[in-house]
Every structure is written in C-alpha cells, then in structure tokens.
Amino acid sequence: MERMLDRIAQELIPAFEKAGYDPSYAKVTVSNRPDLCEFQCNGAMAAAKAYKKAPIMIANDVVGNLKDCPVFEEISAVNPGFINIRLSGEFLAEYLRRMQADKDLSVEKAKEPKTIIVDYGGANVAKPLHVGHLRSAIIGESLKRMGRFMGHKVIGDVHLGDWGLQMGLIITELRRRQPELPYFREDFEGEYPEEAPFTISDLEEIYPAASKKSKEDEAYKEEALEATFQLQNGKPGYRALWNHIMRVSVTDLKKNYGKLNVEFDLWKGESDAQPYIPDMVQDLKDRGLAHEDQGALVVDVKEETDTKEIPPCIILKSDGASLYATTDLATMVERMKLYQPDELLYLTDKRQEMHFIQVFRCAKKAGIVKEDTKLTFLGFGTMNGKDGKPFKTRDGGVMRLENLIGEINEEMFRKIVDNHEIDPEEAKKTAEIVGLAAIKYGDLSNQASKDYVFDIDRFTSFEGNTGPYILYTIVRIKSILAKYENAGGSLNEGQIHAAVNESEKALMLELSKFNAMMETACEEIAPHKICSYIYDLANAFNRFYHETKILTEENEQQKSSWIHLLMLTRDVLETAIDVLGFSAPERM
C-alpha cells in the first residue's frame, strides 16, 4: 500500500503541473510545526529560484488548484511560501480502513526477496556468555525478524566459537583431574561412553579454572595448546570429549537463548568451517593473493582510498595454525556453497570492526563471495552499568545471562504483585514476559552502535520509554476489547470512521505512518526506529484513551469505530514487538 506522504504527493503533483511548475517540486513531509498543520510541502520555496518568482505566488497557484480536493480539510499557502496541509478526517479514516483490511498492515514486502544469513549470537562453547553475546542475540534476532517481515528468506546462524584453545584447556584440566578416563588412554580400543563425564555446572567451573592455570603455569599452557592441536588433528579420544562438551554446552545454550526468545536456524560453528580451510588456503596462494610476511601467510587488503591503516589479513600463523579470520573466510566458502546467500550480515561488538573490514575485503578480492554479495557488519556498543563502565555484577564479575534475566524478572514480579491481586503463578509467568520486554526494549531502543546504560530500575518502569510501558498499553487495549465483547459487542462488525476530536486524529495520523517507518527501519537495519515509533504510537493512544469514554459511548456506530481503531492500534503494536522479538501478556 502506498505511503501516506506519497499518497498526498499524488494530489499535489497535478496541482503543480496544472499551475505550470515541474511536478518534482511536489514533495511532502510531515510538518515540523504540528501546531500549524499535519503535513507540509516546501516545493514552492525550491521552485522559486528556477521560476524567478516569489515562493508565495507559486504556493498560491498550487493551492488554488486544490481548494475543493476532498483529501484535505485545509490546504493553505503561508508566507514565505510554505504549503500547509491538514487531511480530511474521512480521507484518513479511509486510509486506515484499507490498512486494517491488509494482512501486512499496509507494509510493502520486498519485490525481489533475498536470501540473507544473519550471523549472530556468537557464543563460545563452554565459556560463559557475556553481555556482548546478550546484545548480539537481542539485536540479531530482531534483524532476522525484520528481514523476514519484509519478505526475505533469512537464515539465522549462531556461529559458535567451538574450535579454539578453550577446548584444549578443558581437555587438559580433565586429564589432570581424571587421568583414568578412557579418553586419555592411548591403548583404548573400545567405544567411548555415551554419557559425558561432566555436567554443565562442572564445565562452568572447569573452564575458568583451566584458563586461570594456563595464565600462571607455562607448562600447563603448553599442554593445552598441544591438546588443542591433537583435537584439531582428529585424535579419537579428544574428538569424543569434544562431542561431549558440544552436546552438554549446546543443550544449555539452547535453553538460555530460548529464555531470550532467540531461535537459530543453524547451530553451526567455527569447527564446521575447518574442512574448507586447506583448499581455500591453496586457492589464495594459487591466485597469488596470499604471500609470506615474517613467516605468516597474509593477504594484503589495504586500498588507496583508505584514510587509516588497514593491516593485512593473516591467514596462517608462522606455525601453520589458522586464525579467527581464516575461519570466517572458510565459513563464507561454506555458506556460499550451501545457501547461496545474497547478503551476509554479522553482529558483534564494534571492537571487531577491523577484523570484518579485513575479512570482507579478502573475501571479495579472492572471489570467495560474489562481486554483488552484500557483506554487512553491524558493530554494537557496550552495555554499561550505571557507573558508565562495562556492565558487571555487584561483586565485580561479568554477569551471567541467567542471573541477569533472573534479576530483571524478580523486579518485574515485585512490581506486578504490588500493582494488583494476582495469583503468584500467573504473576511469575507475566514477570518473565514483561521482563524480557524490559531487557530487549532497553537494548533495542538505542541506536545499536552506541553504548548504553543497563538500568534495571528504568527498564522495568511501567512509565516512560520502556518495554513494560508498551506492553501495558497493549494490555490496556486488549482489556477494553474484551469488555466490549463481554457486553455483547462484535469485533467483526463496523469500521473506522472519521476522527471526532484532536487526540483521535493524532492517533490516526500516527497509525498511518506505520508502513513508511517499517520500510525505513528494515532498510537501515535500525530496530531503534521501530521502538521510537511504537513509543510515539503508545503515547498517542494513551492520550486518546484518557480523553475518550469509549465503552460508555451511546452512539453504537461511534463506539464501534473506536473499537476498530483500538484493534488496529493493537495489531500495529503487536506486529512491531513481534519483529523486535518479544510479546505481550494477556494481563499485567
């Protein structure tokens, strides 16, 4: 469905033409003086130079051609040459009726759907998730949903860190603790046990212990490096242990991501890319792209137009070991082969920007991706505590995801129970739903690249620009609709009619912006624009709600018109939060 601004321009274009001016001047914007008008056209000012005429004369000519146009309640030329516009109530109502009848709520889906892989989450197996992983999961999930909403085929891949030194460290620590296990016996020939010799809590303790020791004890570190090397070269006992580590960790990760309402289509990781490395390296050499530099194999990726130093992309270290960049390049080889994506979108902390510049350039140069494969990196800022430093727990440690969610939910629970009488079981479930909205909205409402302050008190507030406020608005609407139905009203009959007061019209105008906002937010991969829109919409709704007695209205047609306006508002809000990755409870 056409955007409102374009729809209005459709009326202005012939009016410009008829008055003898080029139709390209008929551009319409939302008014920056809402006290004076709803929309404006500044085309007369722009045309003045070309036509050597006073802008007000041009504006008057154009407006003269639109005096009886039913689209406008008011259209006027004002000094020095603005065209001020107010829409007619009936025209606006008609626009919303069409929007309500459209299953996509007026949003235009992509004409040529693309295949997009979103690489997000990025948890490291057996290492604790940290707040950077939290942001990657939250923002990535929303970008995946935004792409899907626009009609693209989007594949989400968690791209686990599952192939590094942490595996060697865990193996080493296990061997020191339980040398009798069959995994460590050189002469072992039987089947390895099915059951892992550790639980997730064991792993959570083993990895930090091993990591600490390796920093203090050189021999220990050597052992861990050696174990990593042997694992990577296929030593059967270590492979078996690796499989155990993977299974135990992935089960736990799925649970954690599940709590965040984050779902991946692919649970691949760095290990999946390893088989592609030898051929890829050979190819880089054959093409003359990779050369030796102080023993390492590197590809130069600097370009003439660079304003800062872009170091070469290191493919192999001098000992032949592959690196983060190698794995990311090989993963691209695999992705191109298996999924033929048009676009790859990566989400990590913005401190990894240089890595992705190097990898992207190398991939293009080497033809690993196609010339027109779009490679996008969205680097996000740091989640800080109230002290302005990277978020920590009270005792100074990095917060575990589970605890973080737990703390938010507890706070939400307290607020919900304080608010009204509610069964504790239901309150707990509701607290989880609202708590998730608090965390996600708190994150997504900021421009991703910026740092933000994680503030539990603010995020869980029912007032202001918060997730709970948005949910509260939705719940309020649902409760009015339920009461209407309980009193015998039907949601299927009736339709939206012209606004009868200013706050109703303001709400309607806000709703009419949905498609343009959504299309822009998805184009610019900017979930914060969706947040700021739903905040404005929730405010417009609440103002209307406070000024209007909906259920006691005696004129049935009027009442049903408002009910339909409420349904549309609910649908827009619920669609938007679903794209952001959270949902609303029935009551709160």
Tokens of 122: 């990025």
Shortest Cβ 377–ligand ARG spacing (Å): 10
For the CB of residue 119, give the shortest distance to ligand ARG in the complex, in Å.
5
Q: Of 169 and 474, which CB lies nearer to ligand ARG in the complex structure? A: 169
Q: Looking at beta carbons only, is 8 or 329 nearer to ligand ARG?
A: 329
In the complex, minimum distance from the CB of residue 124 to ligand ARG, in angstroms, rounded to a whole number:
5
* Choice between 272 and 510, CB closer to ligand ARG: 272
According to DSSP, the residues that pair with 84 across neighbouring strands are 40, 76
Nearer CB in complex with ligand ARG: 45/323: 323
Give the C-alpha separation, 148 to 146, whole Å.
5
Among residues 160 and 206, whose Cβ is nearest to ligand ARG? 160
Nearer to ligand ARG, 130 or 213 (CB): 130
Q: Which is nearer to ligand ARG, 252 or 411 (CB)?
A: 252
CB 530, min distance to ligand ARG, A: 24
Which residue, 128 or 385, is less far from ligand ARG as judged by CB?
A: 128
By CB under 6 A, how many residues form the interface with ligand ARG? Answer: 8
Closest CA to 453 of 196, 461, 445, 176: 445
CB of 345 to ligand ARG, least distance (A): 10
Is the Cβ of residue 159 or residue 570 nearer to ligand ARG in the bound state?
159
Q: Is residue 435 part of the contact set for ligand ARG (CB under 6 A)? A: no
Distances (CA, A) of 164 to 9, 206, 235, 347, 410: 57, 16, 15, 20, 36
Task: State the Cα–Cα distance between residues 315 and 325, nearest whole angstrom.
Answer: 7
- The region of 96-104, 118-126, 432-440, 545-553 touching ligand ARG under the rule CB under 6 A is 118-126
The distance of closest approach from Cβ of residue 167 to ligand ARG in the complex, given in angstroms and rounded to an integer, is 13
Residue number with CB closer to ligand ARG (159 or 244):
159
Beta bridge partners of 86: 74
Phi-psi region of 396 (alpha: psi -120 to 50; beta: other; left: phi over 0): left
Other CB atoms within 10 Å distance of the CB of residue 106: 24
The span from the CA of 128 to the CA of 365, in Å, is 36
Q: Considering the complex, what minimum distance in angstroms separates the CB of residue 348 from ligand ARG?
A: 5
Task: Give the integer Cα–Cα distance in Å for 129 and 13.
Answer: 55
* Dist CA 422 CA 415 (whole Å): 11
Query: Which region among 1-9, 45-53, 116-124, 288-296 touches ligand ARG (by CB under 6 A)?
Result: 116-124
Which of 525, 437, 440 has its CA nearest to residue 135? 440
Among 161, 168, 237, 581, binds ligand ARG (CB under 6 A): 161
Site for ligand ARG in 332-371 (CB under 6 A): 346, 348
In this chain, which of 61, 141, 328, 342 binds ligand ARG, going by CB under 6 A?
328
Alpha-carbon distance 398 to 410, whole Å? Answer: 19
Find the Cα–Cα–Cα–Cα dihedral 258, 261, 266, 267, rounded to 10°: -30
Nearest to 259 by CA among 120, 348, 137: 137
Spatial contact of 588 and 434, defined as CB atoms under 8 Å apart: yes
> Three-class SS of residue 248?
helix
How far apart are CB 51 and ligand ARG at their closest, in Å? 55
Those residues whose C-beta lies under 8 Å from the C-beta of residue 105, and which sit 6 or more positions away, are: 99, 514, 515, 571, 572, 575
For the bound state, the minimum distance from the C-beta of residue 243 to ligand ARG, rounded and expressed in Å, comes to 20
Outline where 150-197 has alpha helix (H).
165-177
159 binds ligand ARG (CB under 6 A): yes
What's the closest the beta carbon of residue 180 comes to ligand ARG, in angstroms?
33
Q: Is 560 an interacting residue with respect to ligand ARG (CB under 6 A)? A: no
Beta strands 115-119; 153-157: pairing state? parallel
Residue nearest ligand ARG, Cβ-based: 122
Adjacent-strand bridge partners of 157: 119, 266
Choosing from 43, 55, 81, 122, the residue that interacts with ligand ARG (CB under 6 A) is 122
Peptide bond into 80 cis (omega under 30): yes
Least spacing, CB of residue 391 vs ligand ARG, in Å? 16
CB of 163 to ligand ARG, least distance (A): 10
Nearer to ligand ARG, 398 or 482 (CB): 398
Indicate whether 465 belongs to the interface with ligand ARG (CB under 6 A).
no
Range 28-53 burial, b when 16+ CB lie within 10 A, else e:
beebeeeeebbbbbbbbbbbbeebee
CB of 126 to ligand ARG, least distance (A): 12
Q: What part of residues 175-214 is at the interface with ligand ARG (CB under 6 A)? A: none
CB of 161 or CB of 585, closer to ligand ARG: 161
Longest dimension (CA), the chain: 97
Residue that the structure tokens 């002469």 belong to: 187
Q: Tell me if 119 contacts ligand ARG by CB under 6 A.
A: yes
When the beta carbons of 147 and 435 are compared against ligand ARG, the nearer one is 147
Answer whether 185's CB lies under 8 Å from 237's CB: yes
Q: How far is the CB of 296 from ligand ARG (least distance, A)?
A: 20
Q: How far is CA 146 from CA 115, 423, 468, in A?
A: 13, 35, 21
Cβ closest to ligand ARG, residue 106 vs residue 124: 124
Q: Are residues 115 and 152 in contact, defined by beta-carbon separation less than 8 angstroms?
A: yes
Q: How many CB atoms are closer than 10 A to CB 427?
A: 21
Question: Nearer Cβ to ligand ARG, position 383 or 474?
Answer: 383
Query: Least CB distance from residue 121 to ligand ARG, whole Å?
Result: 8
Residues across the chain: 588
- How far apart CA 176 and CA 186 sit, in angstroms, is 15
Among 124, 358, 466, 569, which residue interacts with ligand ARG (rule: CB under 6 A)? 124
Contact residues toward ligand ARG (CB under 6 A) are: 119, 122, 124, 159, 161, 328, 346, 348
